[in-house]
Structure 1
């Protein structure tokens, strides 16, 4: 069946390694992690595919934006995760380029009583480097750096804390994260 190859070879082992890398990136904002084990269809990167296989399942509403919303990608996700595809306002996770994911206000931002009811965006990047915007906050000893597409957008997001969005950035086999608790200077 077309679109079904490219999942984890050993789901238990690959899934644990991928989950560890994703949580390490989220716990240490700005740190870039390398991942492997997934071969999703174009245009989805290896890192984004690993995140989808690790974080999504049949109970995880997912939004595909821009070129990520392709038939081969939809078939791959349906086979490997069963995640329901939904409009952005209903998504727990969303995947796409920065431009395709905008506007950020259209995603769930959490509620004062339940800030965890917000979306996590997986942003496909042309490059991912530990330089550019300065980051401070939990998980960062002094400062870290990450090349962000729009630092002002992440400052506005942090101002909503404890509400707001969380982000993963992916490029090739690398990923980094920016939780809403991180201050972007």
Structure 2
């Protein structure tokens, strides 16, 4: 059974310094898609949210950024933790959220169900933070696009079979479309909407 005290602990030891450090690492990952980043800060978000996902949440979310959570996250101690550490509101509908967090093993909703921004305001789109079992033990995917010198290779494990098709559709919406951050434990990598992803032959 969850206790009220769980929402009070597990945040950054030094909120300002730690958030700045994670922000720099995340911006570097977004600038260089496919590059693995690691959260070294001490943090313990309520399960089933992972450490990297929790660090990103604490870094990017505040009272102006609504968050959508998968059912398992919604039933956990996470909503109270979010309320205490960030005061960020929870969104009932996917298309109302600035950020969405998906726990490992949860069904990933269609990317098109989230806020995609507009031609005039593409920054009003959502960022999805998706937890996976591993970022290095799955099928190899090739990345090309801005921020990548020639090509980059990633191997996330646990993405749904429909992800590549959905990502191709999402990329075609540019400048609209969602951005994605994949996490696993302390590791993360970023997939901006400009990144082209193709399946590599086994």
TM-score by shorter chain over 0.5: yes
Q: Equivalences for 1:14-163 in 2 at 5 Å?
A: 14-35=18-39, 36-86=41-91, 87-97=93-103, 99-129=106-136, 132-148=140-156, 149=159, 150-163=163-176
Which structure 2 residue ranges, 5 or more long, are not aligned? none
Query: CA–CA distance in 1 between the matches of 2:106 and 2:15?
Result: 32
TM-score, normalised via structure 1 length: 0.94
Q: Number of aligned pairs?
A: 185
Is the contact between residue 37 and residue 50 of structure 1 (CA under 8 Å) also seen in structure 2? no
Does structure 2 conserve the Cα–Cα contact (< 8 Å) formed by 1:8 and 1:38?
yes
Moved more, 92-101 or 36-45: 92-101
Identify which range, 27-36 or 61-70, moves more after superposition. Answer: 61-70
Q: Which runs of 5+ in 1 are unaligned?
A: none
Normalising by structure 2, report the TM-score. Answer: 0.87
Would the aligned equivalents of 1:32 and 1:174 in 2 still touch at CA under 8 Å? yes
Deviation at 1:99, TM superposition (A): 4.7
Larger radius of gyration: 2
